[in-house]
Structure 1
Amino acid sequence: MTAHTRTTSGAHFAFTDRWGGVSATPYEELNLGGAVGDDPAAVLGNRARAAAELGLDAARVVWMRQVHGDTAVTVVGPWAADEELPEADALVTARRGLALAVLTADCTPVLLADPVAGVVAAAHAGRPGMVKGIVPAALRAMTELGAEPARIVARTGPAVCGRCYEVPAAMRAEVAEVEPASYAETSWGTPAVDVTAGVHAQLDRLGVRDLAGSEVCTLESADHFSYRREGATGRLAGYVWLD
């Protein structure tokens, strides 16, 4: 159900696949997205299952309302039951044991941790967000809490790869003007964008050195949700927290 890694310094990173949940078609099985049309009870059940597998309290996992923007929100605890989720594409916290979650279904999930400062962040980097600078925004919010880029551990999860993310030539040029590393070509020779490569380039320029990414392409993998492949589908989640 989840790929979970823990560094020797106590940072945890986890990414889900689509299996092990209770959602029905077309969201089968482990849909963790609450705004895609799935039964809310199934989503809550899936979130509880994923949290339990990771040894987390589902009530201590913080979610956000993602809008492909550049807003990073610093949090100190879970939202109240009657509180509306904020519009944001990155969450940051200095509370150990508080897990931050990001939803994706082709976009790049970005998980960041500075174990020394005790600061973590989860960011949603789709093409628009990568261009707007959501990853630098998350880094800025982390540094305001005492994090240092040279200490940050960064992990990116399953996302559509540059060999599959076909876009019009004009769009590729526009994106590459902002982030040259995102310039790509599909495996069949047409213009493409590599969002993950763009994110990695941004992190590298910001001084993050401990950087690794998933080799899973969501569009190619039947074990992962892909909006580009399926349209109506579920959402994967990435989680980050510190012991």
Structure 2
Amino acid sequence: MFWWQDEVGQGVRVAFTDRGAGNLALHTGDDATAVRNRRAALERSMGVPGGSLVFLEQVHGTDVADADRQDRPAVPTADAAVSTRGVPLAVMVADCVPVVLVGAGPQGPVTGVAHAGRRGLLDGVLERTVEQLLARGARRLTAWIGPSICGSCYEVPAALHEQSVARIPAVAATTSWGTPALDLRAGARDRLSSLGVGVVEPAAPEPSCTRENEQLSSHRRDPGSGRIVGLVWGTGARREVAA
């Protein structure tokens, strides 16, 4: 079910699922009841209350949802979310970069998730998410970057490559077959590091490229493979966030 998971401090756990958890997205044409059952099974595995895990209606934008608001929609339309109350958060991907963030806040951990696809990354979704975390008093922010398509596999037209590199030079890449490509993971690392955020790329037993690893969901390899998710949730006792 989990590609990687770990306790990262302050009673907070970070994880990324693999296809063992099944497709967790409701917008891919899968049976809705089956998806909801998988989400419920995931919540049981996480040890969180049923129905407490916040998913997003992701639109490749830069809006950041406040998961703590009592009047928020059950499924906010946004590509990132933040919480100071330990609300379990999920971000769905199938080649885009899932980013999970944790910082120390005035009254406990401050957490967030972000969906960094090409458009969102270039338009500043990570900057917006970090801004919202800092506004909530977060210190010593650390970001975990989950599985995504690698720079050697993410082929793009030459004009799009040029436009993207002009915005974030770190995304420049070439496919393993010699054509223009983008390295979204490198771009995410660059943006986060420039904001003073520590970056962790988990060392999992399985490869992190979604296109190369059939245990992960990849829209490019198989549009029907569904979505995996990045997760952050509270587990109880609080400890210092790992540097």
Q: Same fold, TM exceeding 0.5?
A: yes
- Report the counterpart of residue 110 of structure 1 in structure 2: 99
Could you tell me the percent identity over the aligned residues?
Answer: 38
Asked if structure 2 preserves the Cα contact closer than 8 Å seen for 1:112 and 1:122, the reply is yes
Aligned pair in 2 of structure 1 residues 192, 210: CA closer, same or farther (>3 Å)?
Answer: closer
Alpha carbons 1:125, 1:135 under 8 Å: kept: yes
Which residue is 1:156 aligned to? 145
Aligned AA (1:192):
A
Segment drifting more, 161-170 vs 46-55: 46-55
- 2: CA distance, partners of 1:88 / 1:180: 26
Q: Does 2:232 correspond to 1:231?
A: no
Q: Provide closer, same or farther for how the CA distance between residues 171 and 61 of structure 1 changes in structure 2, counting only shifts above 3 A.
A: same
The residue aligned with 1:131 is: 122
RMSD of aligned C-alpha atoms? 1.7
Deviates more, 1:102-111 or 1:114-123: 114-123
Residue 143 of structure 1 is aligned with which of 134, 138, 162? 134
Is the Cα contact below 8 Å between 2:100 and 2:113 reproduced in 1?
A: yes
C-alpha distance in structure 1 between counterparts of 2:71 and 2:44, whole Å:
19
Amino acid corresponding to residue 161 of structure 1 in structure 2: C
Q: CA deviation at 1:56?
A: 1.9
- With structure 1 as the length reference, what TM-score do the two structures score? 0.89
Distance of aligned partners of 1:147 and 1:8 in 2 relative to their CA distance in 1, 3 Å threshold: closer
Task: After TM superposition, give the deviation of residue 86 of structure 1 in Å.
Answer: 2.5
Give the counterpart letter for 1:235 in structure 2.
R
The change in CA–CA distance for 1:79 and 1:38 in structure 2 (over 3 A counts) is: farther
Query: What's the CA shift for 1:9?
Result: 3.2
Offset from partner CA, 1:70-116 (integer Å, 9 cap, x none): 11111216888xx56222000011112x1110000000000000134
- TM-score norm. by structure 2 comes to 0.89
Give 1:235 shift.
0.6
Runs of 4+ deviating beyond 3 Å: 77-80
Aligned partners of 2:104, 2:49: CA distance in 1, in Å? 21
Q: Is contact 2:189–2:199 with CA below 8 Å preserved after alignment? A: no
Alignment of 1:139-218 (within 5 A): 139-148=130-139, 151-213=140-202, 215-218=207-210
Is there any run of 5+ residues in structure 1 with no aligned partner, and where?
21-29
State the alpha-carbon separation in 1 of the partners of residues 46 and 120 from structure 2: 28
Aligned pair 1:15/2:16, yes or no?
yes
Q: Is the 8 A contact 1:183 1:194 kept in 2?
A: yes
Amino acid at match of 1:13: V
Q: Note closer, same or farther for the CA distance 1:190–1:210 as it changes in structure 2 (3 Å cut).
A: closer
